[in-house]
C-alpha cells in the first residue's frame, strides 16, 4: 500500500502553553477517502493548518508523496489542494478570475476547460462573473473547493467543506468528490456530519485532546470497535429483578418499558447472539420482535472520545 501522507510524532505547542498536538502518527493511503474526526478543539484544525503551511509544528515530520513536506514545500504545494474553513480569496474578483489567478500561484498555466468544468460541477457557472463578495456563504464555500482543485492536485484536504451548504447541493458535491477519488485523487476530510463520513470514507482516524485515538479502515473500525446489541420487544413492560439481573449479568441488560436491550460480544466475526437470546427467553419468554442493532460511526465516535475524556 502506497502512502500519500505520513505524519510522524507531530506536536504543536502554542506560545500560550496550549498543546494542540501531542506526538501524532498518521498514515493516509494513496487513493483513499480518509476521514479525520474529532470534537471541537481536538487538534484537527492545527493538523490541517500544518499541512497547509499556515502553522509550523513544534516537533515532528510529514512526508507527502515521498517528499519532505517542510523542505520540499514548493513541490508539495503544486500537488496539494486545501479547502480551509475560512474564506480565503479577494472578494472583489470574479470566481473565474480567482481560479485563473490561483492556477498561476500553484505554478501551472490556467486550464480554461477545467476551470469551466469546476464552475459547472460546483454550480457556480451563472455566478462566474460576479464579484466574490456578491456570492452567498454556500457559494463561497464551493468557490473554495474549486480553488483547491484548480491545479488538479494529487491530494485534497477538505476542512468542513459543506458547512453552510444545503442538503441537495451537498449530495451533488459529494458525488463530484467521489468521482475525483475514483479517478485516483486522495481525499482527507474533516467534518461534523458523521453520517456523511461513514458513507463516503474508506478510512478513518479519530483525534482528541491532541492525541490520535485510532486510525484504521472504516469497516475495520465498525467491525472491531463497534458493538452490537440484541433488542427484544414485548407486549407489556418488563421489570428487572435481582434474579434476572444475575442471570443476564454477562449481557449488561437495559430495560425501557417493554424493550429489552442486551449487549453482545464479538469473537472472530461472530457474536454470542444465541446465548443472549436464550437467556432472555428463559427470563421473559418469547418476544414480539427481535433484532440486532449495530453501532454506527457516530455511536463509536462518541464512545471512543468520551472514554478518552474520562480516562
Question: How far apart, in whole angstroms, are the C-alpha atoms of residue 5 and residue 140?
Answer: 28
* 268 band by pLDDT with thresholds 50, 70 and 90: low
Total count of domains within the chain: 2
Q: Are residues 136 and 80 in the same domain?
A: yes
Structural domain range at position 131: 3-222
Q: Are residues 180 and 266 in the same domain?
A: no
CATH code of the domain in which 91 resides: 3.40.50.300
Q: Are residues 47 and 147 in the same domain?
A: yes
Confidence (pLDDT) at 310 = 56
Q: Are residues 248 and 212 in the same domain?
A: no
Each residue's pLDDT tens digit, 90-106? 778 899 999 999 999 89
Question: How far apart, in whole angstroms, are the C-alpha atoms of residue 296 and residue 294?
Answer: 6
Domain's final residue, options 193, 222, 251: 222
Q: Are residues 260 and 154 in the same domain?
A: no
Q: Are residues 151 and 189 in the same domain?
A: yes
Q: Are residues 106 and 239 in the same domain?
A: no
Question: Per-residue pLDDT averaged across 240-264, rounded?
Answer: 90
Q: Are residues 96 and 190 in the same domain?
A: yes
Q: Are residues 153 and 290 in the same domain?
A: no
Q: Quick check: is 59 in a domain? A: yes
Each residue's pLDDT tens digit, 2-61? 999 999 999 999 999 999 999 999 999 999 999 999 998 899 999 999 999 889 999 999
Distance of CA 184 to the CA centre of its chain: 19
Three-state SS sequence of the chain: CCEEEEEEEEEEECCCCCEEEEEEEEEEECCCEEEEECCCCCCHHHHHHHHCCCCCCCEEEEEECCEECCCCHHHHHCCEEEECCCCCCCCCCCHHHHHHHHHHHCCCCCCHHHHHHHHHHCCCHHHCCCCHHHCCHHHHHHHHHHHHHCCCCCEEEEECCCCCCCHHHHHHHHHHHHHHHHCCCEEEEECCCHHHHHHHCCEEEEEECCEEEEEEEHHHHHHHHCCEEEEEECCCCCCCCHHHHHHCHHHCCEEECCEEEEEECEECCEECHHHHHHHHHHHHCCCCEEEEEECCHHHHHHHHHHHHHHC
Q: Are residues 242 and 145 in the same domain?
A: no
pTM: 0.83
Q: Quick check: is 307 in a domain? A: no
Q: Are residues 128 and 247 in the same domain?
A: no
Helices 95-105, 112-121: crossing angle, 10 deg rounding: 130
Confidence (pLDDT) at 87 = 67
Q: Are residues 141 and 39 in the same domain?
A: yes
Question: Per-residue pLDDT averaged across 60-81, rounded?
Answer: 95
Q: Quick check: is 303 in a domain? A: no
Amino acid at each position: 500500500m502506497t502512502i500519500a501522507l505520513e505524519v510522524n510524532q507531530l506536536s504543536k505547542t502554542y506560545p500560550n502553553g496550549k498543546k494542540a498536538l501531542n506526538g501524532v502518527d498518521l498514515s493516509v493511503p494513496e487513493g483513499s477517502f480518509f476521514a479525520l474526526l474529532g470534537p471541537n478543539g481536538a487538534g484537527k484544525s492545527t493538523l490541517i493548518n500544518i499541512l497547509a503551511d499556515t502553522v509550523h509544528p513544534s516537533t515532528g515530520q510529514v512526508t507527502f508523496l515521498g517528499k519532505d513536506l517542510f523542505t520540499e514545500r514548493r513541490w508539495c504545494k503544486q500537488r496539494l489542494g486545501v479547502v480551509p474553513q475560512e474564506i480565503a480569496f479577494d472578494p472583489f474578483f470574479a470566481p473565474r478570475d480567482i481560479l485563473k489567478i490561483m492556477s498561476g500561484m500553484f505554478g501551472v498555466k490556467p486550464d480554461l476547460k477545467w476551470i469551466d468544468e469546476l464552475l459547472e460541477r460546483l454550480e457556480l457557472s451563472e455566478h462566474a462573473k460576479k464579484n466574490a463578495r456578491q456570492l452567498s456563504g454556500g457559494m463561497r464555500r464551493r468557490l473554495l473547493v474549486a480553488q483547491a482543485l484548480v491545479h488538479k492536485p494529487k491530494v485534497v484536504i477538505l476542512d468542513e467543506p459543506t458547512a453552510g451548504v444545503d442538503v441537495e447541493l451537498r449530495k451533488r458535491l459529494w458525488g463530484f468528490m467521489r468521482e475525483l477519488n475514483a479517478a485516483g485523487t486522495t481525499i482527507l476530510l474533516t467534518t461534523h456530519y458523521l453520517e456523511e463520513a461513514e458513507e463516503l470514507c474508506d478510512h478513518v482516524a479519530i483525534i482528541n485532546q491532541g492525541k490520535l485515538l485510532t486510525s484504521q479502515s472504516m469497516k475495520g473500525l465498525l467491525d472491531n470497535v463497534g458493538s452490537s446489541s440484541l433488542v427484544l420487544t414485548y407486549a407489556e413492560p418488563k421489570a428487572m429483578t435481582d434474579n434476572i439481573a444475575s442471570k443476564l449479568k454477562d449481557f449488561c441488560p437495559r430495560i425501557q418499558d417493554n424493550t429489552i436491550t442486551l449487549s453482545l460480544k464479538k469473537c472472530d466475526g461472530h457474536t454470542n447472539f444465541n446465548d443472549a437470546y436464550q437467556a432472555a427467553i428463559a427470563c421473559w419468554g418469547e418476544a414480539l420482535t427481535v433484532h440486532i442493532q449495530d453501532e454506527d460511526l457516530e455511536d463509536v465516535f462518541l464512545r471512543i472520545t468520551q472514554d478518552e475524556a474520562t480516562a
